[in-house]
Structure formats: structure tokens, C-alpha cells
């Protein structure tokens, strides 16, 4: 008898995409699932969609909340979940049919507490069908991955399929980590998402998402799990379909709440340095990256709006000076970010104006 996996799906105004998301979960090759949809204050037709889904699938339940935020929505579902394992799916995303089966197998074969996989980005149903179809070629290979580069742009021939499947069947395309390695080689390498992962219930324990944050709660959740984590595994397989939503949070114009991008890493720094003070320069580099991502958001505003946001730019400049004061921090920045940090520090007005112009030219 299979162990139960609880799949938690928070949704806010998701009438246009929730149904296909849930269809992709209900269609998993791993069958022992409970699917918990958290309707967080939707004002569109999401409630009606939820009703249809509970009629269609006997393992779908719905929690209705008054728009309290994605972190709180996930927390309420964790409290209700009955599964031995828990996973999170964003309501505009989709899963390849064998994703949960592969992650579950990885947990069992390695004795890990968390198993994660890579993700593929899509924008149209046609793109998603190609992605899901390519991944199904490797269902015989628990740790396989879709072909890359030019070969991913066309259908595989029978000979190519046989050759690639044989290759992946004999190669373990996974990385295993102890708790410190997971911090240094995964979290601090930008694998900060809570989705595309399967968690043993025991590693979550009493850890919950930080409800005071609107951005970065994923990363802090993973940092907080480190105290309970013994081993983790990451598959190269791309089993999670990330929808590039034009209305998604990360693509919306700057708002003051976007400063949480920096705050979340400051909170993470406190926790990480308690575990290992030698990681300060590496965490500072992540903070500097968060500062520049925030600056980029502000730079996209119109000239008048940028002037209104001047105080936030000054905060960003001060933060950059603070975390870049440890010179070793620059070593852990990609070269492009080193240039950006130095340019913004020396001439914040000129940098934001130039960035704004360049982005407009790209569009």
C-alpha cells in the first residue's frame, strides 16, 4: 500500500489556470494523494472551479480563507494535511505525470528528508505539452532528464530515444547533500523554491512559513528546515512546469512590499550565521543580489514614480554599502552583478535611468 502524499495548492484569483493544474496533479502515476486547495480570498470564479474539482476528484478538498497571503495559506494546509509526505504546487503551474513518483523513489533510495527536481518554464499549452511529452520518454529512468539544446527543440527518433534512455538508466543524475552541503551547494546557489520538492512530514515538524513576508518566504522556510534536515537529494530531471505568468508577483511593478526581497535574506543571514559564521561573505553576496533585483524593479518605474521611490533607492544604496563592506563578498557575485553593484553605488541616478532605458529598448 502506498504512503500518502499531501499536495498543497494555494490559489488567489486562479479561475483561468487552477483546473489544469489540479488535473496534472490528479493524473500523477503515484496514486496515493490528497490534494488540498486553499482558496485565499479569490474574488473571481475560483470558488466555482474549486466546486467542480471536488465533484470530479474524490481526493480534492478545499480550504477557504479571507486573503491572508500565500505563506499563511500554506501553513493552514500543513495543519490539515494527513500525508506522510508533503509537496507544494503553485496554482498556475503543472506537474509532469511521473514527478511525484520519481521524488518519492529518490527519498526511499537515498534515505533523504527532501527530494527536489529541476523545472521547465512554459507560457502556452502547446509548450507545456511538448515539455510533458519529452519527460515521459524517461519514465523508465528514475533520475533521467529531458534532452537539452537543439535536441530538445524537435521530436526524438526511436534510435535517439533508445540511446538516451539507456544512458540515463545507467547514470545517477542526482546530487546528495548533508545539511551543511544543502545550505552551501543548493540554497546559497539559488535553489530557494519550496515547490518542485517532496518533503517527509518529519523534516517539516513544527516549521512553518513566515507569514509577515510577501516575498522570500520559500527560502526562509528551507533555511528553517535545516535544523531538522539530515540528508537531501536533487534530481536533474525537469518534472515541474513553471508557468511564466504575466500577472505573477515577480513580474509586477515595484511596490514597497518588494523590499521584502532584502528583508528575507537579512532574516536568513541571522539563522545561517548561527549555524556557520564562516558563511557571512557568501550570504552577503546573496543580499547584494537581492538589493540589485530590488533596484531593477524600481528602475522600471516611470521617471515620476522613480522620484517618488527615491527613499527606497537610498535604502538600497546603504544596504549595498553595508554588505559589500566585507570585500570578500564580491568574490561570490557573478561578474555581471559585480559590475551592477559598483555602477549603482557610484551613480544610483544614472544607473537606474540607464537600466530603465535599456529595458524599454528590449521590450
Whether residue 195 is found in the same domain as residue 286: no
Whether residue 241 is found in the same domain as residue 265: no
> How confident is the model over 132-158, as pLDDT tens digits?
887 654 443 333 333 333 333 333 333
Query: Given this model, what pLDDT does residue 253 score?
Result: 78
* Contact residues for 105 (Cβ-Cβ < 8 A; gap 6+): 142
Buried (b) or exposed (e) across 329-351, using 16+ Cβ within 10 A? bbebbeeebbebbeebeeebeeb
E-strand spans in the chain?
A: 5-11, 33-40, 60-65, 85-88, 94-95, 114-122, 174-178, 197-200, 231-243
Whether residue 235 is found in the same domain as residue 299: no
Q: Which domain holds residue 103?
A: 5-249
Query: Given this model, what pLDDT does residue 1 score?
Result: 82
The segments of the chain whose pLDDT lies below 70 read 135-172, 247-252
Whether residue 155 is found in the same domain as residue 190: yes
Whether residue 152 is found in the same domain as residue 265: no
**Final residue in a domain of this structure, among 228, 249, 270:** 249
Whether residue 218 is found in the same domain as residue 327: no
Number of domains the chain is built from: 2
Whether residue 235 is found in the same domain as residue 103: yes
Query: Given this model, what pLDDT does residue 190 score?
Result: 92
Contact 300, 359 (CB under 8 A): yes
Contact 193, 250 (CB under 8 A): no
Considering the chain, what is the average pLDDT of its residues?
A: 89
Amino acid at each position: 500500500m502506498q504512503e500518502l502524499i499531501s499536495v498543497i495548492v494555494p490559489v488567489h484569483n486562479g479561475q483561468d489556470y487552477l483546473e489544469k493544474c489540479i488535473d496534472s496533479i490528479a493524473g500523477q502515476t503515484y496514486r496515493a494523494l490528497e490534494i488540498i486547495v486553499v482558496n485565499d480570498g479569490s474574488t473571481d470564479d475560483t470558488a466555482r472551479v474549486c466546486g467542480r474539482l471536488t465533484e470530479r476528484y474524490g481526493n480534492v478538498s478545499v480550504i477557504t480563507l479571507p486573503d491572508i497571503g500565500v505563506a499563511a495559506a500554506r501553513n493552514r494546509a500543513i495543519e490539515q494535511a494527513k500525508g506522510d509526505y508533503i509537496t507544494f504546487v503553485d496554482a498556475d503551474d503543472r506537474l509532469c505525470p511521473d514527478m511525484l513518483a520519481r521524488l518519492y523513489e529518490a527519498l526511499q533510495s537515498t534515505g533523504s528528508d527532501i527530494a527536489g527536481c529541476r523545472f521547465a518554464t512554459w507560457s502556452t499549452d502547446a509548450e507545456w505539452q511538448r515539455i510533458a511529452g519529452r519527460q515521459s520518454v524517461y519514465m523508465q529512468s528514475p533520475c533521467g532528464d529531458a534532452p537539452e539544446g537543439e535536441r530538445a527543440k524537435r521530436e526524438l527518433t526511436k534510435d535517439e530515444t533508445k540511446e538516451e534512455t539507456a544512458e540515463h538508466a545507467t547514470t545517477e543524475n542526482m546530487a546528495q547533500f548533508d545539511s551543511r552541503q544543502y545550505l552551501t551547494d543548493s540554497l546559497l546557489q539559488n535553489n530557494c523554491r519550496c515547490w518542485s520538492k517532496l518533503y517527509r512530514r518529519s523534516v517539516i515538524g513544527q516549521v512553518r512559513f513566515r507569514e509577515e513576508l510577501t516575498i522570500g518566504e520559500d527560502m526562509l522556510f528551507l533555511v528553517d528546515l535545516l535544523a531538522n534536515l539530515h540528508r537531501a537529494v536533487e534530481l536533474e530531471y525537469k518534472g515541474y512546469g513553471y508557468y511564466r505568468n504575466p500577472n505573477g508577483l515577480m513580474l509586477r511593478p515595484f511596490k514597497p512590499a518588494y523590499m521584502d526581497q532584502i528583508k528575507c535574506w537579512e532574516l536568513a543571514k541571522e539563522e545561517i550565521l548561527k549555524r556557520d559564521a564562516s558563511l557571512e561573505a557568501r550570504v552577503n553576496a546573496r543580499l547584494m543580489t537581492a538589493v540589485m533585483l530590488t533596484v531593477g524593479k524600481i528602475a522600471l518605474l516611470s521617471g515620476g514614480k522613480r522620484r517618488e521611490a527615491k527613499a527606497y533607492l537610498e535604502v538600497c544604496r546603504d544596504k549595498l554599502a553595508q554588505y559589500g563592506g566585507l570585500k570578500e563578498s564580491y568574490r561570490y557575485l557573478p561578474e555581471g552583478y559585480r559590475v551592477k553593484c559598483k555602477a549603482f553605488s557610484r551613480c544610483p541616478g544614472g544607473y537606474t535611468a540607464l537600466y530603465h532605458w535599456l529595458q524599454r529598448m528590449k521590450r
